[in-house]
Amino acid sequence: GYAPRFEELKRQILAKVPGAQVQGIVGRKTSFEVEINGVLVFSKMEKKGFPVFDEVAALVEEVSRGMPVRPLVGKQG
């Protein structure tokens, strides 16, 4: 499954924003979605790949400082 990827993403997010609440929910078999404050910012099924974890962590940090939630564009090679 995707548990190891989720755990790595969670680790990177918490390294940048220690107070963030990071939750993993098992969904459809091939899905890996990222939501920030209830807004979908990345879907593996839509982008055909995984998000760049550094970008996710950076966006969480931006949002924690009051910036708006925005979609992620990059995906892992």
pLDDT of residue 7: 97
Residue 75 within any structural domain of the chain: no
Arithmetic mean of pLDDT over the chain: 96
The parent domain of residue 30 ranges over 3-64
pTM (predicted TM-score): 0.92
User: Domain tally for the chain?
Assistant: 1
pLDDT of residue 45: 94
Residue 19 within any structural domain of the chain: yes
Cβ contacts of residue 28 below 8 Å, gap of 6+?
A: 45
Residue 77 within any structural domain of the chain: no
Residue 57 within any structural domain of the chain: yes
Residue 74 within any structural domain of the chain: no
Residue 69 within any structural domain of the chain: no
pLDDT of residue 21: 96
Cα(35)–Cα(69) distance, rounded to whole angstroms? 9
Residue 76 within any structural domain of the chain: no
pLDDT of residue 43: 96
> What's the pLDDT tens digit per position in 23-51?
999 888 889 999 999 999 999 999 999 99
Residue 72 within any structural domain of the chain: no
pLDDT(77) > 80: no
H, E, C per residue of the chain = CCHHHHHHHHHHHHHHCCCCCCCCCCCCCCCCEEEECCEEEEEHHHHCCCCCHHHHHHHHHHHHCCCCCCCCCCCCC
